[in-house]
């Protein structure tokens, strides 16, 4: 549903840009193509994947939602486990060793506390990784927004070739070298 909404909004936004940037001349009709804005791509990407849709890279949506969703799921799962072990540990300390989780009844208090710490660290790690994935989504949309109009020319080449150069004070001797050739 969210994906459908993003696609519709992206289409409406582009249609409005085309209308807003259209120019007409008396002698001939000239339509100016809408200017692709990296800033708009960045703003669209505040909704994960929105900037990629704006840039015409909708194929990245499953990757973005898979990574952010997977990391978010792991963060929530570790948070729930952390809370469960914390509550059990506090109950054991306050009620003289009485446990609340039957599955872990044979575990000593120190093991329950260690499980709480482990899930707490994992929760924090997955929250940070989710934030990094979201930030990479923003950076990707912004960078590809800049590269949207970049044209590669067929004459762009890079070649490594062996060559020889004269040696200074070598009495006419030559030394083998590697040469780089760039053509733009």
pLDDT for 75-84, tens place per residue?
999 999 999 9
Predicted pLDDT at 20: 45
Question: Distance between CA 45 and CA 65 in Å, rounded?
Answer: 12
* CA angle, residues 74, 98, 105, in degrees to nearest 5: 55
pLDDT of residue 61: 94
pLDDT of residue 12 exceeding 50: no
Structure tokens at 170: 């070598």
Rounded to the nearest integer, the mean pLDDT of the chain is 82
């Amino acid at each position: 549903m969210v994906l459908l909404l993003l696609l519709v909004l992206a289409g409406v936004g582009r249609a409005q840009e085309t209308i807003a940037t259209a120019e007409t001349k008396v002698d001939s009709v000239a339509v100016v193509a809408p200017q692709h804005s990296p800033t708009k791509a960045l703003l669209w990407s505040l909704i994960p994947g929105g900037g990629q849709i704006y840039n015409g890279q909708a194929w990245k949506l499953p990757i973005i939602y898979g990574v952010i969703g997977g990391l978010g799921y792991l963060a929530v799962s570790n948070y729930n486990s952390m809370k469960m072990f914390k509550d059990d540990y506090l109950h054991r300390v306050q009620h003289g060793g009485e446990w609340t989780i039957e599955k872990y009844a044979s575990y000593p208090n120190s093991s329950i506390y260690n499980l709480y710490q482990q899930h707490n660290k994992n929760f924090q790690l997955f929250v940070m990784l989710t934030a990094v994935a979201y930030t990479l989504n923003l950076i990707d949309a912004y960078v590809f927004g800049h590269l949207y109009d970049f044209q590669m020319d067929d004459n762009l080449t890079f070649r490594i070739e062996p060559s020889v150069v004269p040696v200074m004070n070598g009495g006419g001797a030559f030394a083998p070298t590697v040469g780089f050739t760039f053509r733009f």
